[in-house]
Structures are given as C-alpha cells and as structure tokens.
Structure 1
C-alpha cells in the first residue's frame, strides 16, 4: 500500500532553534518501505514499485501494517553517500554496490497509523523496532538544534546538506510542509554558456579553462529573455546551436565522477 510521503520546503540558511531537530540530508533515493499480508513492497516517492530492485530489504523483521520512510544510499569507501553509484544500483540490482536503507520516519506500525504522533515520538518508535543487526537498514541519527554548527560540518565534508524538522510536528501525508526544511550545501562556479539545445531549453556549459561542464536547465524566465537577447550563433549541429561564450555564475550540488557540474542552476551574469 503506497502512502504519498511528506515533502520538504527550502531554507536558504541554517539556524539554531531547540524546537527543531537537525539531520543529515542524505544524497540518495527516497523510498517508502511497506509490509502488508506478509508481503514487503517498496516504492519510490512517485509511487513506482521497485521491490525487485532491493531483495536485501525484503527480509526485515517488522510486523504487518508497517510503513517506513527513508532514503536508500550507496556509501563510498569513506562512508559518504555516492549518488552516482546509488543511481547505478537503482537501475540494476546486478551491479556490485552495497545499499543502506536509512530510515528517518514511520507512518504506520503494526496496522496502527502513527503519522499524527509528534516527530520525537515517531523517532522513539523507530529506535525500538528497527533491528540493529540487519546489514541493510539503519535509523538516521539526529541532534536537537545546532543547525549552524551541523551545516558547517556538512560543508567541511562536502556533503549534500541538512534537514531541520520541528520536533512536535506530525507527518503531513502527501504535503510539502514548512515543518521540514532542507538547507542545501551548494557550491558555486563561474562558467561559460557555449551552446543552446535545439529541441528543448537547456544550455551547454564549459569551465573557464574550456573543459566541458555539463548542461544547465534551470534559468528563470527573466534571465532566459536576457540570454535570448544577447547570444550570437557561431555554428550548429543536429542537437545544439553553438554560441559565442557568455560568462555567468552557477550553483551546483557537486562534481560528477566525469568532472561535470551536477544539477547546475543560474545565479547571475558575470
């Protein structure tokens, strides 16, 4: 039985508030784990069943009528979530990556809906029921407040960000709530726009040294108009118009293993 998960709002800055808890924002795939009638079914947040991809999660000793919310990650050799490896594992269970299902909430347990309990009560329940000896599941750790210090540690270690959650909040099924706030550890880079996609919006980026930096799709309508008013085409192929380079600043999550920007978005013209 699929239950639409609670979603986060964005916050531009971390903060210290003891009425909130602070967790690491895990760089993985959001997963709902369910068990009814002795059958485990696993869903993405978009209601795609992916049980067959994760056979190692089908033998967790939990009662019928349980629904968990969490993130699947593939840890790298240093224990940090490796998003590219996580996506490879998502596409095929045959690649040699070990997953970890990191559970941060519970919506139903033993046939009883618990989404109206406070967040801290739900956290206590998780700690009581999640087996400590299973190799593929763990409970996400958290601290009270201290959002600024936690975010500083995230930046020092090149992690994705933090999540700040109101301690007394209920689980708002299917809603995006300001009781859960994500703060992303964006990185920034000056790059050139060197091309435009022909079939849809997207701009080709290069680093200042000329190396390819990837494709950017996130530019506001206002800035798109400015781009359209200033670019000059030098050449083209079936896929791109290649233009005289235009310098801008972008923000992004991290560099991919190929050295390109992951999820770049426009910040300003330079």
Structure 2
C-alpha cells in the first residue's frame, strides 16, 4: 500500500493548562529522543522517517520486526526513538551513538547490540485511511487497541487530567518533562500547535565563567558564548559546557565589559575545552544557568544563561558534579 508522507505535529512550549481545563487534556511523558514517523507497509516492511523527512530506517535495525506487528494492516504512527540507560530512563548521549548511521548499516548493527533502541509510540495518523481529522482521544484509543508492545517498542498510556501530579512525577523521576495534549484536537501535520504544549523540567546550577567565544556579525566584539565550569572536590575547575543563549542586548554588552576586565592568557579549566577562538578569563564571575540534564561526562545539556550572581563569591558557587 502506498502510504501518505505525513510530517509530525509539533508541540509549543508553555505551561500547564488552567485547573478548570485540566480534564480536557491528556498528559504524556516528554521523551528525550529522536522523533520518528513510522510507516508500516502491510507487507512486513517498515520505514522510519526523522522529523526532517530523512529515511533513518537503517540506523535502527532492531526495529525492523515492527513491520510485521500488524500483519497485513498498513499504518502510519508517530513516536520517539530512545536508548535507555541501566535505570530504564532515556539517555540522549547513548542515542547520539546511534543517530546518523542510516548509511552505515554494518556499524548500526554493531551499535544495536551494545545500545539497543526503543521506540515509544504515542499517535496514529493513518490506519485503513486518514485519521488526522479525528480527535486526539479517538486516535489514542485506536492506537492503544493495536496492542503494539514488543521487545524494542511500546505504547505507554496517557493520563487524562491530573496535570500537576503528572508534572511533579516527571520531576521526581528525573525525566525531561511533560507533553499536554488537548483531547479534542486534530492532528496537524508539520504544525507547531497550541493544542500540544510541552513543558521541559529545567534544573539550575551556579557556574564560574572561565572563558568566552566572540560572536560573529552583529555580535562582533561581544560574547557569542561563555565557557563555564564548576569546582570539583579537589578544587579544580572542571569544564561543564558552553552557554550561548539567555541574554538581552544590554546584558550581553555588560557581560562583555566584565569579561575583558578579567582577561588572562591561561586556560583556567583542568582540561582544555574544544572551543575554537576561545579567550580565557580569571574565574571570578559567578553565573546561574538553567539546563535540562547532564551527560555522563558532566556536561550541561541545553544550557541557558539566567543571571549573574554578584551575591556569590567564586568559592561559594555550589558544585553538583556527577
């Protein structure tokens, strides 16, 4: 069967629906993986396409068996490819070792043995016909009726109502966040819709600025990013990442003046960061950043600058290194 190409619907960043609207929404765990539209062709074949439309099937050979899960029934499903850690939680760093291997099937097969992928399914857009015009609640009921539970794929349940409890549970479990989906919403291919709201659980950390990378173009002479670290138990400044967002124009200009005043010829980090054109500063500026998670090496994922902390002395900045 020739299945239609369907671009994935996208969620809009936001906050929980109002308490009075809570029962009109479903809540799903926000997964930290690679979005995939899954095409089951009804002949045992399966095709996975990334959000960009790229065919990524060969990168995940262990998902090939999903092609026969519905027999001769063809379908288009929406989901997320994950790689789970030893605690059963999504580990994006492990997933990165699997991404980009669609053109290297032999390498993909070897990586699959060491870090198997798991596909989480959360929507169905085509099943014997177009379902995108159906309400979310109806599509979700249809998806769950398919019983798609296997060695490398699953269909987690969605919680209707109880949004605050669901969000607290994701935070307590160290999960990335929550996706809120309006029960009466249709599937809008390729649209970033207010009918789906994503809430990312952000953590904060106090960091020391040890360097910066000059910006380009309109940011010439200003910091395009700052290189930040935290002290370990031995007092060494460990590099934890590059932060390039979160400033207003005036804040960036103020930061540039502070960085120039603290210039030094020596890298203050215990290991040299991979940052071309980096300029080093004495690590005396304390900043607060928000981030989603840490890599196993302790680097901050998706960091964003929140504010300078002039109230904190460099030796007082808290370290929460793994």
TM-score normalised by length of structure 1:
0.91
Output one character per residue of 1:205-256: Cα deviation in whole Å (capped at 9) or x when no partner: 1125522111112233423233223322222785301123322110001121
Q: Residue 315 of structure 2 aligns with which residue? A: none
Q: Which residue number in structure 1 is paired with residue 199 of structure 2? A: 183
Counterpart of 1:99? 117
The CA distance in 2 between the partners of 1:12 and 1:195, in whole Å, is 34
Structure with greater Cα Rg? 2
TM-score by length of 2: 0.77
| Contact kept in structure 2, 1:14 and 1:148, CA below 8 Å | no
Quote the residue 1:235 is aligned against: 265
Match of 2:80 in 1: 71
Are residue 244 (structure 1) and residue 282 (structure 2) matched?
Answer: yes
Contact 2:62 2:116 (8 Å CA) reproduced: no
Native 8 Å contact 2:16 2:163 kept in 1: no
Work out the CA distance in 2 between the residues paired with 1:243 and 1:256: 25
Which residue number in structure 2 is paired with residue 205 of structure 1?
Answer: 228
Aligned residue number for residue 127 of structure 1: 144
Corresponding residue for residue 217 of structure 1? 244
Change (3 A) 1:239 1:64: farther
Q: Counterpart of 1:231 in 2: which secondary structure?
A: helix
Measured on the aligned residues, the alpha-carbon RMSD in Å equals: 2.1
Secondary structure at the aligned position of 2:88 is classed as coil
**Greater percentage in strand:** 1
Q: Deviations over 1:40-67 (max 9, x none)?
A: 2211111121110112222322346421
Equivalent in the alignment of 1:115: 132
How many residues are matched?
A: 268
CA pair 82-14 structure 1, distance change in 2 beyond 3 A? farther
Q: 2:189 aligns with which of 163, 169, 173?
A: 173
Q: Gaps (5+ residues) in structure 2?
A: 102-107, 217-223, 268-275, 310-322
The separation in 2 between residues aligned to 1:37 and 1:142, in whole angstroms, is: 27
C-alpha spacing 1:109/1:175, structure 2 compared with 1 (3 Å): same
Is the helix fraction higher in 1 or 2?
2
CA gap 1:131/1:144 in 2 versus in 1, 3 angstroms? closer
Could you say which residue in structure 2 is the equivalent of 1:6? 9
SS at match of 2:228: strand
Q: CA deviation at 1:99?
A: 1.6
Question: For 2:34, which of 19, 26, 29 is the aligned residue?
Answer: 29
Cα distance in 1 between the residues matched to 2:50 and 2:252: 33
CA 1:12–1:244 in structure 2 vs 1: closer, same or farther (change >3 Å)? farther
- Structure 1 stretches lacking a partner, 5+ long: none
The structure, 1 or 2, with the larger RCO (C-alpha pairs under 8 Å, 6+ apart) is 1
1:44 alignment partner in structure 2: 50
